Structure 1
C-alpha cells in the first residue's frame, strides 16, 4: 500500500451525500479599496422556500444540518420510519405536499456510539462510532503494510460502516502511518477527530495496536439510541452549536418545525419559547403542532391561552389529522410537516402573500381532520389565532384561516394575518441578504443611493406580482442616524412603508444592518 500523508482519509465507497450546502451564517466581506462602492446582486423576487426540521432519528450525524431534496436521501442519512420519532413521517409529509428544499438536524438524548476495542501490548485502542445508534455497525482493521519502522510506532487503520443486518460496505476510511504518540503530527486521536465513522474513546495507549491480519475487529459493544428528547435537548447550546443552535450553520431558511418524538408528544413550553425567540432573530416562521389531548375547540383555545403562546412568527392549527384509511379516530396525526410542504409549494407557485385555502393546496388523500369543526367554531379558532383543518372527503381537506399566533402579542393585530407576516418576512430576508454587506462600505452617499434604487426596483416587482395593493410605497435609507438598535461602529437602517394586497393596513418595516468587529448583525421591526 502506498502512503498518502496529505489526505486525512480516502473514501473508497460512499452512498450518503455530504451536507455540502451548509455555510457559516457570519459574513465578513471587506472593501477592496477605501471609498469604493461594490454593486450587490439585484434583489430576487422569488427564491425557493427552505424548511428546517429538528428531531430524533435512528442514525445520522448529530447537531449537523443535512440538506436533502427527497425522502430517499433522508433514508440514506438518517434511516426510515421509526417508532421512537415522528421525524421521518414529517419528512415524508413535507415532500409529498410539495416541499423541495429541507435541512434535517438529528438531536439525541444520551445516545451512544458502538464501541470497538483494538487489542495491543499496552491495552486496547478504544474507538467509538461517530454516529450514535443501535443500528450502527462499524468495524476496524489494523495492518503494518508499507511501514518500515524499527521502533514499531506507526500503523495503518481501516474503518468500515456496514449496512444494518448485512455485510455490504456503505462507507470506508483508510488512514496511513498513524501514531499513538500525542506529539506526532499523525496522532491517531487528532486524525480520527475528523472521521465520519469513528473517534478515539478514552486514553490512547502508549504503543500501537496489534495487526488484525486479513480480518476485521467487529464492535465489542452495541450503540444506543438514547431516550426521548427533552426541551433542553431541543434548545441545545449556542456555544456548542447543538440543538436548534446547530441551525446557525445554515445561512438562510424560512420555516422551522420540531418533529415530535412520539405521536402523542409535542415540544414543551421551554422549547417553544426558545424557538419563538430564535425564529424572531432569524426571520423565520415556526410551525407548531397542537397536543393530541386537545379534543375540542375549547380545549385548543384554552390550551394556547394557558401556554401563553402569542407571537407573530408562530403558525399553528387545529384539529390534528387522522388517516383516511383508519376505521376509528383514536390516534391523531401531527401534520406540521405537511403544512411546511404546502407553504413551500405555495411560495414556489404563487408567493407567500397568497392564502393556502385554495384549489391545488389540499392535504393528501390519506389525511383527514380528526374532528369535524362547525363553521361557528372555526370562526372562534381563527379569531384566537389558530388555522383550521376542514374538509371531510379524501383529497379535499385544507388548511384555512391564514392566521398567526400574534393575537395578544406586542406586535399588534396587523401581524395576525399569516399572509401579511410572511410577506414582511420575505421582504425583510430578501433585502437583508443582498444589502447586509453594504454596511462595510465607506462611500455613504453612494451606498444610500444604490440601496434605495435597488429596493425600489424590488418593490416595483412585488407590485407587478400582485403582492402589494399599489405602488404608493416609500423607501428610505439612513446611516448612523436615529436610535442605535445594536451596539455597533456603523449601521444602515432601511425603512419601508407599503400596502400589502392581503391586508387593509399600511405596514411599516425597518431593517437595520449593523457592523461590529467585522461581523454583520440584522434586526427588523
Structure 2
C-alpha cells in the first residue's frame, strides 16, 4: 500500500515478530461475532488497533468487539480471536471476463464497497501500471499504486478488504488484455455479501479450534448467550467444558445469557450447570455477572457489554503484577462506567452462594470484581487462584517433561523427570505460590519403583506430584504418565 508523503526522511517502525508463548497465563482467546475477518481461523492480536485492522471497526451488532476493547483497556497484552459465523457469502463484482474483485472475508460488511481501477500503458512516464483504490463504508481507504499488470492479484493479497480472483483455473496472468488502449478505467461496486447468525455447529467447531492453540489460558465467548438459548446454550457450554477441562491449562470466563434478567433466572441457569454434577468440568469455568455499561464505540452514549472481556483483561493485568497463583479479584475494572443492574445485598448473597462471581460498584473505587470462585462445589476445585496455579504448573511441567517422551524407561529417566518437575515446583515455591516454610512442606514428587513396579508396562512412566497452594491449605494432586505411544499425559486426581 502506498501513500503520498512530503520530501524528507521517513521512518517506519514494525513490531518484531512474536511466536507463541505457552508458559504465559495471561493470554485470552475470544470466540464470537465480528464485522469481518476470516471465519474459523485463529488470529493473534496484540492491541485494539490489531483487532480493528483484522476484524474491522465495531458496527454495534455483536458484543465480541466490545469485549476485546475491554480486554486491552484493562491492560491485556495478547489475545487470539476466532470469528464465529453462520453460512455467509462475500460481496463481489465482476471486473473483466477473467477476473472478479471479491471481499476479503464473508459477510454483508462489503456491500456497497467501491473499487476503482485505473490502467496506464507504457509511455515515457514509465512501464504499464495499474492503480487500485478501495473504499468501504466505515473503513480507511486503501490505495495500491504503480502495480505491474501481472502482479495485481499478488499485491492485493496485502489488502484487508478485497482480493482479485480469477474466474477459472486457466485465466490469464494479467487482468489487462494485451491489446488494451493507452488508458482504461473501471468503477466497480461490490454486492451480494450475506450474513447469518452462528448456530451450535459453528460454535462447536470454534471450541474445537481453540483447543488446538497452545497459548491461551483464558477463554471468553461474549456473544454466546445472544446466539444460543435454552438447551442449545446449555449443551454448548457443557461441550466447551468437556473440551477445556481435560487440558488443565485454561479457564473459561462465562457470561450469564442476556435474556435472564432476574436473580431467580440467573440462579436457575447456574443451577442447571451445577446439576450436571461433574466437579472437574465445572472447575474449568467461572461466571462473572452482571454485565457492564461501557462507552459506545459507534457514537455518544453507553451500551451493555458482557463482563468476560473486561475481566479477562483484569486477570491478565493482575497476572503480570502478582502472578497466576493470586486471586484475580478486589480490583477495579477499566473502560466501564456502570452496571446494567444493581442487586440488593440479599440477592447478591444468593448469587455468591451459587458461585457466581460478582462485579460490584464500590464507592470511591468504581467497578470492582468481587469474587474468585469457579462453578465447582468441590472445595479442592473451588478457587480460581488454585485452578490458575494448576494451569501454570501443567504448562511448565509439559515443557520440562515433553523432551523425555522417547527416552528409554530406566532409573535415569525417572530421575530426569523428577529433576525437571522439581525445578518447576521450586520456582513456584520461591514466588510464594505454595504453602509451607520449606519446599518439602510445599510439594512432593514421587517417580520410583513404588509407582513404577517391574510388572508395569515398560512403555509408560508414572510420576505423582502433590502440591499445596498457598491459602487455604488444600492439596492439588497431579499424575504424569509418560508413554512412548501417546506422549505426555497430565491427569488431575
Alpha-carbon offset, residue 163 of structure 1: 5.4
* 1:280 alignment counterpart: 245
Instruction: Work out the number of aligned pairs and report it.
Output: 451
Matched residue SS, 1:253: coil
Give, in whole Å, the separation in 2 of the partners of 1:54 and 1:499: 34
User: What is the root-mean-square deviation of aligned Cα atoms in Å?
Assistant: 4.3
Structure 1 pair 163–477 and aligned structure 2 pair: CA distance change class (3 A): farther
Is the counterpart of residue 100 in structure 1 residue 74 in structure 2? no
Instruction: Give, in angstroms, the shift of residue 202 of structure 1.
Output: 6.0
Q: Per-residue deviation at 1:413?
A: 3.2
> Is the Cα–Cα contact under 8 Å of residues 401 and 420 in structure 2 kept in the other structure?
no
Task: Please give the per-residue CA displacement for 1:406-457, whole angstroms capped at 9, x wherever unaligned.
Answer: 12xxxx4310121112211111112113322220233743332223123223
Aligned to 1:41: none
1:524 is the counterpart of 2:487: no
CA contact (8 A) 2:102 2:164 kept: yes
Q: Residue 59 of structure 1 contacts residue 133 of structure 1 at CA under 8 Å; is this kept in 2?
A: yes
Instruction: Kindly state the Cα deviation for residue 22 of structure 1 after the two structures are TM-superposed.
Output: 6.3
1:22-421 → structure 2 map (5 Å cutoff) = 47=24, 49-120=26-97, 124-126=98-100, 128-136=102-110, 137=113, 139=115, 162=135, 164=137, 168-169=141-142, 197-198=162-163, 200=165, 203-204=168-169, 211=177, 214-215=183-184, 217-219=186-188, 221-222=190-191, 224=193, 226-236=195-205, 243-247=206-210, 250-260=213-223, 268-282=233-247, 283-307=249-273, 308=275, 311-322=282-293, 332-358=304-330, 361-364=331-334, 366-393=336-363, 395-407=365-377, 412-421=378-387
Q: CA deviation at 1:77?
A: 1.5
Cα deviation for residue 94 of structure 1 reads 0.6
Task: Measure, in 2, the Cα distance between the counterparts of 1:362 and 1:399.
Answer: 7
Q: CA deviation at 1:166?
A: 7.8
The CA distance in 1 between the partners of 2:115 and 2:17, in whole Å, is 26
Aligned with 1:397: secondary structure? Answer: strand
Distance across 2 between alignment mates of 1:341 and 1:476: 37
Question: Does residue 469 of the first structure (1) align with residue 440 of the second (2)?
Answer: no
2:30 partner SS:
strand
Pick which of 60-69 and 214-223 moved more. 214-223
| Cα distance, 1:304 vs structure 2 | 1.9
Whether the aligned pair in 1 keeps the contact of 2:58 and 2:65 (CA below 8 Å) is yes
Change in Cα spacing, 1:226 to 1:455, as seen in structure 2 (3 Å) is same
Gap change, CA 1:217 and 1:432, over 3 Å in 2: farther
For 1:132 and 1:301, the matched residues in 2 are separated by 38
SS of the equivalent of 1:288 reads strand
Q: Whole-Å Cα distance in 1 between the matches of residues 448 and 2 of structure 2?
A: 55
> Gapped runs of 5+ residues in structure 1?
1-10, 26-43, 147-154, 179-187, 237-242
Q: 2:27 & 2:241 partners in 1: Cα distance?
A: 18
2:200, 2:228 within 8 Å by CA — same for their partners in 1? no
- Tell me whether 1:441 sits opposite 2:407 in the alignment: yes
Residues 366-389 of structure 1 deviation map (CA, whole Å, 9 limit, x = unaligned): 333334344444343233221122
**Of 338-347 and 192-201, the range deviating more from structure 2:** 192-201
SS of equivalent to 2:389: helix
Distance 2:320 2:400 in 1: 20
Asked if residue 502 in structure 1 is aligned to residue 471 in structure 2, the reply is yes
User: How much does 1:340 deviate?
Assistant: 0.5
CA deviations on 1:43-82 (whole Å, 9 max, x unpaired) are x7xx451111111111222222222222122112211222
Cα distance in 2 for partners of 1:172, 1:371 equals 52
Q: Distance in 1 between matches of 2:93 and 2:217?
A: 41
Secondary structure of the residue aligned to 1:300 is helix
Structure 2 equivalent of residue 149 of structure 1:
none
Higher relative contact order (Cα pairs below 8 Å, separated by 6+ residues): 1
Whether the 8 Å CA contact 1:87–1:261 is kept in 2: the answer is no
* Alignment TM-score, normalising by the size of structure 1: 0.72
Contact 1:284–1:425 at 8 Å: present in 2 too? yes
- Give 3-state SS (helix, strand or coil) of 2:328's partner: coil
Larger deviation, residues 423-432 vs 195-204: 195-204
Q: CA, structure 1 residues 384+158, in 2 after alignment: closer, same or farther (shift >3 Å)?
A: same
Give the deviation of 1:161 after TM superposition: 5.1
Distance in 2, matches of 1:132 and 1:289, equals 27
396-405 vs 444-453, which moves further: 444-453
Report the alpha carbon displacement of residue 133 of structure 1 after superposing the two structures with TM. Answer: 3.8
Paired position in structure 1 for 2:9: none
Question: Aligned partners of 1:421, 1:18: CA distance in 2, in Å?
Answer: 33
Instruction: Report how far residue 102 of structure 1 moved.
Output: 1.0
Query: Cα distance 1:80–1:431, how it changes in 2: closer, same or farther (>3 A)?
Result: same
CA distance in 2, matches of 1:69, 1:362: 22
Per-residue CA shift, 1:489-512, capped at 9, x if unaligned? 944443210211123322211233
Partner of 2:421: 455
C-alpha distance in structure 2 between counterparts of 1:521 and 1:216, whole Å: 61
Distance of 2:218 and 2:315 partners within structure 1: 9
State the Cα distance separating 1:313 from its structure 2 match. Answer: 0.4
